[in-house]
Amino acid sequence: MVKPIKLSEANADFFDRVYQVVELIPKGRATSYGAIANYLGAKSGSRMVGWAMNAAHSLEHVPAQRVVNRNGLLTGKMHFETPTKMEELLRLDGIEVLNDQIVNWKIVFWDPMIELQID
């Protein structure tokens, strides 16, 4: 069982903004911690996005499996219920994984700076 993280008010607000972005990632696509941080104006905040994902596992509406490192590696897999759960969820999303890395990462990659830009 994953322990909940105690959040300051400022962190809770940032985490909520992270979750709002993650909820917009379409099935079959994935993004990186850094891409989310950059989109939220916290370019060096990828670690904080990782902490948000770690805290999100009890939130069913947040598809945390769709957030990986900048190379498509499943670095957050140890925070899921089992060591294979993240990969299983990605496969259900239609994303191929091999050796803990998303296959065709450049095609699967969803960049919020591009996908969520305002016209």
Q: Is residue 67 part of a domain?
A: yes
Question: What pLDDT sits at residue 57?
Answer: 76
Q: Is residue 22 part of a domain?
A: yes
The pLDDT tens digits for 71-115 are 999 999 999 999 999 999 999 999 999 999 999 999 999 999 999
Q: How many domains are contained in the chain?
A: 1
CATH assignment at residue 99: 1.10.10.10
Q: What is the band of 7 on the pLDDT scale with cuts at 50, 70, 90?
A: very low
Distance CA 55, CA 2 (A): 8
Q: Is residue 75 part of a domain?
A: yes
Q: Is residue 20 part of a domain?
A: yes
Q: Is residue 91 part of a domain?
A: yes
Q: Is residue 3 part of a domain?
A: no
Q: Which domain holds residue 99?
A: 10-114
Q: What is the band of 25 on the pLDDT scale with cuts at 50, 70, 90?
A: very high
